[in-house]
Amino acid sequence: MQKIDDRYREPRLLQEMMQFTALRHPHRTALVIEGKSYSYEALLDAALRLASAMRERGLQRGDRVAIYMDNTWFCVVSIYATLFAGGVFLVINPQTKSGKLRFILEDSGSRILLSDLHLLPFFENLLDDLPAEMPVWLSGERNDGVFGEKPRIESLLQVMEVHEPREWPQEVIPLDLAALIYTSGSTGTPKGVMQTHQSMVFSTGSLIEYLRLDEDDRILLALPMAFDYGLYQLFMSTALGATLVIERSFTYMGRVIQRMRNEAVTVLPGVPTVFSMLLSSHRRKPLRFEQVRTVTNTAAALPPEYITELMEIFPNARIFKMYGLTECKRVSYLEPEKLLLKPGSVGGAIPGTEVFLRGPRGEPVAPGEAGILHVRGPHIMKGYWKQPERTRRMLIEGEQAGEFVLCTHDWFRMDEEGDLYFIGRSDDIIKTRGEKVSPLEIENQLHACPGIREVAIFGVPDPVLGEAVCLYASIEEGSSLTRAEIKRYCVENLENFMVPKYLELLDDLPKSANGKIDKKQLREMHND
């Protein structure tokens, strides 16, 4: 196996970040999964074994490999094995049902499907429609009858055991694709965001830099690896030689809290729904994690009202508010030192990149005025897989010759210091009574209402108003807050045109696979 000499070379390919760590620090703990520790040496060995199996089955440079798995040891191994074999990985959320799974497998043209045995019922009906030469490798007990009954299905563990950890000649260069990250957005069929090795290596380094992480960190991963926010926790950890503590999800918050204590977690990535659950637990029985030194939030805006309580739970932590989208991984971050000074901001551009605002016709926007956010840097996507029209809408010609920049179509304002304030997505802005209303502005105000746990605001068609403001909320356990009291709070704290016409209370608001509140599902519920 290759050795690293004294002449250090920066990793150029995504898998090299882990490989270089494994060769320098083979016995350091890479992963802790369900209480079991795995070394970097073990991770490299397993990934190279599986890569050999992929190559022997005919996987070529640029071929796609679908990974439909929970957050497990085998999921991590499958990601790195695909990269070592020269392939392009796509992680599919295990909550994905057969219809969407079929679309992604067909759209990506995946050559190999890796999954967990317990997920077989969700795609068994697809097997006859998959290409005959497509192997299906499942984690699970080797003596399970399914491996003998269905010819194309094989035990992933056995496949790995019969292959040696061989390194194949490296054909891939940094400009080649490393991953397809499928995202549905608010409408339409899933889009495969194309990210190269170069863009993902750059993003990983930029994230590590501004988050101030180091090799002593123990990072919790309970977000799905199909979600780029979850996926990059793996890449940051292995690039540093840190330890990643993996949980399947945040569903059982009590178990996650115990794992954080047992494993001395120092870095907690979350989304607002996760922090809402954590704060609810804290209000019932105070929590305190003095060893946590970094808390991060993205996917949706972190309500300013959460910040004080999070500081109680994590008294020694730097809390990072961030904004991003899959098409460029991350756009901006707010330095923790500014958190109380600018609680409504998501900060400025991540290191090595640039952001700017333009009006609807491309004209410059003055500080304090609303504009459409544009992003420039090595981290932007190569485009959408097989969707040139959608690609052209997002990647537009920049001011530098031959350059393309990412037009997010999201509305922001920027202050004199270059810090951004999210207003709303182009398709989320509510036009009511001749006014433009930001759902986020109303949501932030309602988070200050005692007793409200979660809230979602969106517009629905109205023959008189154009659009009517619709509010769905869930209430804190033990709270006696009523619809009438929420309505009165809105009247007292919002401008008249912002006051919701419709108000519904649910025990829990529906969530997407990435933990965001699912406004699309709420709209469908409202229309029914």
pLDDT tens sequence across 59-87: 999 999 999 999 999 999 999 999 999 99
**Domain span(s) for CATH 3.30.300.30 in the chain:** 428-527
DSSP 8-state class, residue 350: P
Q: What is the pLDDT of residue 435?
A: 64
Statement: residue 184 has pLDDT above 80: no
Q: Among 34-43, 288-297, 465-474, which stretch is predicted with the lowest mean pLDDT?
A: 465-474
Statement: residue 429 has pLDDT above 80: no
Among 129-138, 164-173, 211-220, 357-366, the range with the most confident prediction by mean pLDDT is 211-220
Per-residue model confidence as pLDDT tens digits over 342-369: 988 999 999 999 999 999 888 999 999 9
In this structure, the strands spanning 88-92 and 64-68 are parallel
For 115, the enclosing helix (H) or strand (E) is: strand 112-116
Amino acid letter at 395? L
Q: Please check whether residue 52 is in contact with residue 58, taking contact to mean a CB–CB distance below 8 angstroms.
A: no
CA pair distance 158, 137, nearest whole angstrom: 9
Q: Among 129-133, 220-224, 233-237, 265-269, which stretch is predicted with the lowest mean pLDDT?
A: 129-133
CA pair distance 465, 116, nearest whole angstrom: 50
Q: Please check whether residue 228 is in contact with residue 326, taking contact to mean a CB–CB distance below 8 angstroms.
A: yes
Count of CA atoms in the C-beta half-sphere (13 A) of 466: 10
Q: Among 119-128, 297-306, 434-443, which stretch is predicted with the lowest mean pLDDT?
A: 434-443
Per-residue model confidence as pLDDT tens digits over 474-514: 998 889 899 999 999 998 888 787 899 999 999 999 987 76
In this prediction the pTM is: 0.83
By CB atoms closer than 10 A (0-12, 13-18, 19+), residue 27 is exposed
Confidence of residue 150 (pLDDT cuts 50, 70, 90): low
By CB atoms closer than 10 A (0-12, 13-18, 19+), residue 175 is exposed
CATH number of this structure's domain 428-527: 3.30.300.30
For 208, the enclosing helix (H) or strand (E) is: helix 197-211
φ/ψ of 232, rounded to 5, equals -75, -15
Can you tell me whether residue 439 is helix, strand or coil?
helix
By CB atoms closer than 10 A (0-12, 13-18, 19+), residue 19 is buried
Higher pLDDT, 426 or 85: 85
Instruction: Tell which CATH architecture fits domain 40-191.
Output: 3-Layer(aba) Sandwich (3.40)
**Domain span(s) for CATH 3.40.50.980 in the chain:** 40-191
CA pair distance 259, 245, nearest whole angstrom: 8
Q: Which CATH number fits domain 250-424: 3.40.50.150, 3.40.50.12780, 3.40.50.170, 3.40.50.300?
A: 3.40.50.12780
Compute the mean pLDDT over every residue in the chain, rounded to the nearest whole number: 90
Determine the average pLDDT of the residues in 116-135: 90
